[in-house]
Structure 1
Amino acid sequence: MANVYSQVYIQLIFAVKGRSNLIRNDRREDVQKYITGIIQNKGQKVLAIYSNPDHIHILVGLNKFDVSISELVRDIKASSSKMINEECWFLGKFHWQEGYGVFSYSKSQIDQVAKYVLNQEAHHKKQTFRQEYVEILEKFEIDFKNEYLFEFYEGEEGN
């Protein structure tokens, strides 16, 4: 389309079903590369990605709007789940939890957010995923109900 220019930066966050630690460190880069390919095939750009054992952060530059964010997340989850299951990385079925977080940023924030995404391993030595996610929701002033958050279980540190 002529004379349409855009650049939108978003961070996607979603979790493994049951918050299970199913994405092993030796498979982390495989998951990240596969998801990066999905996003690139949709005409978008991955600026940073980090797959924790139980959740993932993806910083994306959206420059085409022929696919909605919900369709992009649906395709990422469906295709990556299918690949993980076809590769038989573990016994049982792999699924992502329903839902996701999507947060927008300005161009001036991109370097800081990319560093945050790539520094997840060190970050989670200090803060649980629940604490992190609730902090992000509060920072963005998003009203939420605990029952609609990802599945966080009693006894989880920081719960």
Structure 2
Amino acid sequence: MTAFTFDDMRKIDRKTLGGEVPLELFRTIRLIGLHQGLPMGGKATTLTVGRKIGDSLPVRSVDDILKIFVDLKIGLPKVIHQDPDLVRVVVEDCFCDGLPASGTSVCDLEGAILEGAMAKVTGKTVRVRETKCNVAGHEHCEYEIRIGG
């Protein structure tokens, strides 16, 4: 089995359609294919996949992580609290913004990407929990990132 890298993903040779795909396709894969199609809302899968993606990103700092979230159009992140053991990140304009409110959080993949990237940057065990989500009825998505321990 071929092991792809993040750099491999940047090699795009689509002459007509280019490197963009509609947000509707990403939402469909995530929320219908994974969230509704797999047991337990696909959480085990999205956590494993997100951590692997985060670890594969070319990041060396928290600022790099925030920048790549914007570059990949994941959302517009902002650190609202940071100390050695805890970072809180708000993500505005998240992929879920505009979806009907269902009372549940759906951005576990994005949190797992943060977790994998933060573990890579810090070299420590990291746990991320989504504490707010647009789909759950909040004004934005928010993540609590615990470092170490």
Q: TM-score, normalised by structure 1?
A: 0.35
Highest relative contact order (Cα 8 Å, sep 6+), 1 or 2?
1
Q: TM-score, normalised by structure 2?
A: 0.37
